[in-house]
Amino acid sequence: MNKAFGNDDPRLSAYIGAVYAPEDAVLAEIRTRSIAAGLPDIQVAALDGRHLELLTRLLGARRAVEIGTLGGYSGVCILRGMAEGGQLHSLELAPHHAEVARESFRRAGFATRARVHVGAALEVLPGLAAEGPFDLVFIDADKKSTPEYFEWALELTRPGSVIVTDNVIRDGALIDTGNQDPTVLGGRRFHELLAADRLGDARVSATTIQTVGSKGYDGFTLALVLPA
């Protein structure tokens, strides 16, 4: 699915697509090959991928971590935002997804700059400490564990780093109190963690911007890591 910008107005989506052309042939091939390989069609929207690329470039990031690789779509966006020599560690539970992603990184010209770690992220993250601190962490794996990933991201970064978290809105599921799905509860716990942080010694300065999800609107939380 080539997710539309503007939620429900196809003319606006076509206009923005024409102006920014956020998905080139390399990314389109990754999206279609991932779907053909049976991966779920849940990569970031093309323009949200552009947001990731530009944010990475704005940060001058040279070392990044991604939690949740899928077929490598968002990872390629992050790698494109990094200067020559920038390195991405991307964490993926499913070996088949990791294989598809390695091919994507190779095709995008990043074979030597992307490392895909196969395993449960909570088991892989402690081993990354020696490679840090990282300039950017993108959290986009199983949503029930998002708060735990955020705590790990704080461990692996430094003041001035940015932690981006995907799928923090879920088309309003977040505020539907009847929805007790573990993925939604993970999102609520994540926002509560940020709110508690604001009340005490803030560890981050955070905001949430709207993105285009696979079922409607969604969001990225941007969190700047503050000095202790």
Contacting residues toward ligand SAH, per CB under 6 A:
42-44, 68-70, 73-74, 91-94, 97, 120-121, 140-142
All residues at 6 or more sequence positions from 111 whose CB lies less than 8 Å from its CB, including other chains: 105
* Structure token pair of residue 87: 């390195």
Alpha-carbon gap, residue 8 to 71, rounded angstroms: 26
Do residues 174 and 143 lie in contact, with contact meaning Cβ atoms separated by under 8 Å? no
166 belongs to the binding site for Mg ion (CB under 5 A): yes
Cβ nearer to ligand DHB, comparing 59 with 217: 217
213 belongs to the binding site for ligand DHB (CB under 6 A): yes
Cβ nearer to Mg ion, comparing 42 with 156: 42
How far, in Å, are 99, 111, 158 from residue 96 at the CA level?
5, 17, 33
Binder to Mg ion among 90, 167, 211, 221 (CB under 5 A)? 167
Task: In angstroms, give the least distance from the CB of 166 to ligand DHB.
Answer: 5
Alpha-carbon gap, residue 202 to 228, rounded angstroms: 8
SS3 of 142, please?
Answer: coil
Alpha-carbon gap, residue 137 to 132, rounded angstroms: 11
Which residues in the 11-70 window bind ligand DHB by CB under 6 A? 42, 68
Stretch that binds ligand DHB, among 93-101, 122-130, 147-155, 209-217 (CB under 6 A): 209-217
Alpha-carbon gap, residue 195 to 166, rounded angstroms: 17
Stretch that binds ligand DHB, among 17-25, 78-86, 102-110, 208-216 (CB under 6 A): 208-216
167 belongs to the binding site for ligand DHB (CB under 6 A): yes
179 belongs to the binding site for ligand DHB (CB under 6 A): no
Interaction mask 111-140, Mg ion, x per CB under 5 A: -----------------------------x
Peptide bond into 22 cis (omega under 30): no
- Count of chain residues binding Mg ion (CB under 5 A): 3
How far, in Å, are 37, 144, 185, 210, 212 from residue 182 at the CA level?
27, 5, 5, 22, 21
Binding site for Mg ion (CB under 5 A): 140, 166-167
Query: Interface residues with ligand DHB (CB under 6 A)?
Result: 42, 68, 140, 166-167, 213-215
